[in-house]
């Protein structure tokens, strides 16, 4: 499954594939572009299959319904929705085109990198653990970006893809996406990635 979102400020490709032998993917993602912002969320339900999907999909629905809200509020709403469900890891990226800033927050092992054409690399570290509906501390950081910056977000179904060098390379996001698709063929876990470029 893959999806493409674009306007004058962003181009992004999302792709996901379930663990070998599974029909249901325990990861979920959401992407939305407006004239002012781009928001995406990637969630990885603990374990795999149906119960993992219930958690990650509940997160997707929260972000879909409230995409106009800020990241700090969203991540807390996502935590709340996991009460009495299996836990999940989550990463939310919100890009504001006009001031050219982005806010990022993550809990758990979803990787993110943004590489600017000047060589600046932004690699915010997630808070360890996972969301489970219990009170939790979040880290929510805002950075500036440059025109042409590329980013990659992926769940742990993609092992050591070398995203730093990929995001910094001159490859287009289609080329990066095709490369990631090829190296995920092993399928030991559900896998989701989003690759994008900002203009």
**Where do contacts with Mn ion occur on this chain (CB under 5 A)?**
44, 156, 189
Shortest Cβ 150–Mn ion spacing (Å): 23
Shortest Cβ 27–Mn ion spacing (Å): 7
For tokens 């990885």, name the residue. 44
H-helix or E-strand spanning residue 144: strand 140-144
Shortest Cβ 110–Mn ion spacing (Å): 9
Q: What are phi and psi of 28, to 5 degrees?
A: -135, 155
Q: DSSP secondary-structure letter at 97?
A: T
Q: Which is nearer to Mn ion, 62 or 189 (CB)?
A: 189
Q: Which is nearer to Mn ion, 88 or 122 (CB)?
A: 88
Q: Which is nearer to Mn ion, 25 or 105 (CB)?
A: 25
Shortest Cβ 155–Mn ion spacing (Å): 5
Compute the distance between CA of residue 190 and CA of residue 27 in angstroms, rounded to an integer: 6
Q: Which is nearer to Mn ion, 13 or 191 (CB)?
A: 191
Shortest Cβ 137–Mn ion spacing (Å): 22
Helix axes 71-81, 50-65, angle to 10 degrees: 140
Cβ proximity of 44 and 110 under 8 Å: yes
Q: Which is nearer to Mn ion, 38 or 53 (CB)?
A: 53
- Classify burial at 182, counting beta carbons within 10 Å of its beta carbon; exposed 0-12, middle 13-18, buried 19 or more: exposed
Residue 70, number of CB atoms within 10 A of its CB: 15
- Classify burial at 127, counting beta carbons within 10 Å of its beta carbon; exposed 0-12, middle 13-18, buried 19 or more: middle
């Amino acid at each position: 499954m893959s999806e493409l979102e674009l306007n004058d400020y962003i181009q992004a490709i999302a792709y996901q594939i379930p663990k070998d032998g599974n029909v249901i993917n325990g990861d979920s993602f959401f992407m939305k572009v407006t004239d002012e912002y781009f928001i995406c969320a990637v969630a990885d339900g603990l374990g795999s299959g149906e119960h993992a999907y219930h958690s990650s999909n509940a997160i997707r629905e929260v972000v879909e319904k409230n995409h106009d809200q800020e990241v700090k509020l969203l991540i807390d709403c996502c935590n709340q929705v996991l009460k009495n469900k299996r836990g999940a890891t989550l990463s939310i990226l919100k890009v504001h085109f006009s001031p050219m800033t982005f806010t990022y927050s993550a809990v758990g092992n979803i990787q993110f990198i943004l590489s600017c054409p000047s060589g600046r690399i932004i690699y915010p570290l997630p808070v360890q653990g996972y969301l489970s509906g219990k009170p939790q501390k979040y880290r929510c950081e805002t950075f500036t970006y440059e025109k042409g910056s590329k980013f990659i977000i992926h769940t742990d179904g993609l092992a050591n893809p070398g995203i730093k060098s990929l995001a910094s390379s001159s490859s287009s996001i289609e080329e990066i996406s095709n490369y990631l698709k090829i190296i995920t063929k092993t399928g030991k876990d559900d896998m989701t990635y989003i690759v994008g470029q900002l203009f």
